[in-house]
Amino acid sequence: MDKKRLLASLATVLPAQLAADLVDDFMIVRQDFSTKTLGRSSPGKFVETVVQCLQHLSSGSHDLKPDVEDYLQRRVEHEAKIPDDLRICAARMARSIYTLRSRRNIVHKGMVDPNSYDLAYLHHAASWMLAEFLRQASGITMEEAGSLIAQIHTPIDEIIEDIDGVLLVHADVSLEDEITLLLRSRYPDYVPLAAIKTSLVSRNSGTLGNKLRELVSRKLLFGNPKIGYKLTQAGVKNAGEIRRHLAMAA
């Protein structure tokens, strides 16, 4: 996820610090879902920041320590300046997240553990809300907004790990397959050559360059060292085949 681009877009509708808090809190929710980490306070913190964002959209200011329950249950739907999609839909989703966070932290013996699908819901709901705030951004193109929203909704991937923008492929695969999987996680965006080299730092740079040129010549990739590289449609199809093979071998 391109955090810098996301922050720049959100900062057109929210104060820079609130935009940063919203993205940081979302990334922790995403990380918790990815690692199946249970019982942390990240969903509550994300909702608290959402409330501050809604307050700012309504009045131009926000509480440092908002009363989350009171605002979401009694006040937000009367805030006429907030767009309906945020005022009603996002606010109700935020309240549902807060309810799960508060009421679903105990599992009784013999019951199906709800934590896995609770985490899935928390992540998907947070993704939806973040995308909705992004949809209110001004001064960005439809293509840019669409690209960022696609990144937000990228499924959690147990093969690809994103650590501060560095992509790690957790699979014993060839260099060609590693490049393909890496670029699939950023499709349809171009990935700069420097970012590919950083992610594949354990690979020989000369061999990496040769393989990129070969994949371009086979029309599985498009691009060059100046603009970066992205998968073609044939490359996307190939990535799907690689993933299916890995799933069958697991």
Shared-domain flag, residues 123 and 195: no
Distance CA 126, CA 129 (A): 5
Q: Are residues 244 and 185 in the same domain?
A: yes
Q: pLDDT by residue (tens digit) across 180-192?
A: 988 988 888 899 9
- Kindly indicate the confidence band of residue 245, based on its pLDDT and cuts at 50, 70 and 90: confident
The pTM of the full predicted model, rounded to 2 decimals, is 0.64
Asked if residues 238 and 224 have their Cβ atoms less than 8 Å apart, the reply is: no
Which of 45-49, 168-172, 183-187 has the lowest average pLDDT?
168-172
More confident residue, 244 or 68: 68
Q: Which domain holds residue 109?
A: 3-152
What is the CATH number for 168? 1.10.10.10
